[in-house]
Amino acid sequence: MLSYRHAFHAGNHADVLKHIVLVLTLEYYQRKDKPFWYIDTHAGVGLYHLNSSEALKTREFTHGIQNLWSASNTPDALHLYLNLIRQLNAQPTLEHYPGSPWIAANVLRKTDQLRLFELHPTDFTALENNLGYDKRIQISKQDGLKGLLGLLPPITRRAVTLIDPSYELKTDYADVISTLIKAHQRFATGTYMLWYPVIERQRIKQMIHALLQSKIAGILQIEYCPLADNAGIGMTGSGLFVINPPWLLAGQMQSALPWINQQMANSTGHFTVTYITPEKTT
């Protein structure tokens, strides 16, 4: 179980993984001129202060983005992501970390659109204050899993969706898979990124089994764990299931993760980049 308020976790190893994958996916989508939507089902506040009482209580960022902030010889796949972090901070001080909505808003073009969902009343207000000025963005105070289905298929027929719940409830694991399958049935050509925490390995196996049963082709699993699996110590890592990933993504992450592991992990760190269902054939 994780705390719903993301301010406690901002900039941790899970954010680093999730946001690198997000940036690479959004960057790839812009290779075509046609506009697209970015949909975020659990948007949070959009921007986090690492000197806040919440962030300092856990200091998870010190084991995440802090380790990459001043690193040298960064892989090419990380350049845009790290440049976005630098836009927010004057070196050598690391005080701010962006959430996925801020990242998307600063990567997307004027012709692209963002659809953000946030149910927590305080976080919804903060999100509006941080990003509500942007005319490309629509923010809804609504359950993002239900809201997502109401948007599909998008009028652009191109969309990148991030599903990133807190997994506070054990039922969340089944609910997100069910929503993902329904979303794919409504809009099969979109790219979907489902983030998950590694707390109990058995739950990840159950998610994979359900995805295999769905018969959805070409699901890429990207996982990074700074610590060895241990159900007794909380989140040891995290991962994403990516449906319809950019064709470059697997190779980019296979190249980047060894370097990331060197910066952030101890000797027990491990990662995987693999297709859990066969890629589509033409």
State yes or no: 40 annotated in a binding site: no
Residue 143 marked ligand-binding: yes
Is 164 labeled as ligand-binding?
yes
The sign one gets for the Cα dihedral 44, 50, 56, 59 is: positive
Contact 192, 244 (CB under 8 A): yes
Local structure of residue 3 (DSSP, 8 states): -
6 annotated to bind ligand: no
Distance CA 177, CA 210 (A): 7
Residue 125's alpha-carbon distances to 19, 206, 265, in angstroms, are 23, 35, 36
Q: Does the annotation flag 42 for ligand binding?
A: yes
200 is in an annotated binding site: no
> Residues 140-159, buried b or exposed e (16+ Cβ, 10 A)?
beeebbebbeebbebeeebb
Q: Which of 15, 40, 112, 164 is catalytic?
A: 164
Residue 112 among the catalytic residues: no
Distance CA(144)–CA(165), nearest Å, equals 9
Active-site residue numbers?
A: 164
Return binding residues.
Answer: 19, 42, 100, 118, 143-144, 164
Return binding residues for S-adenosyl-L-methionine.
Answer: 19, 42, 100, 118, 143-144, 164
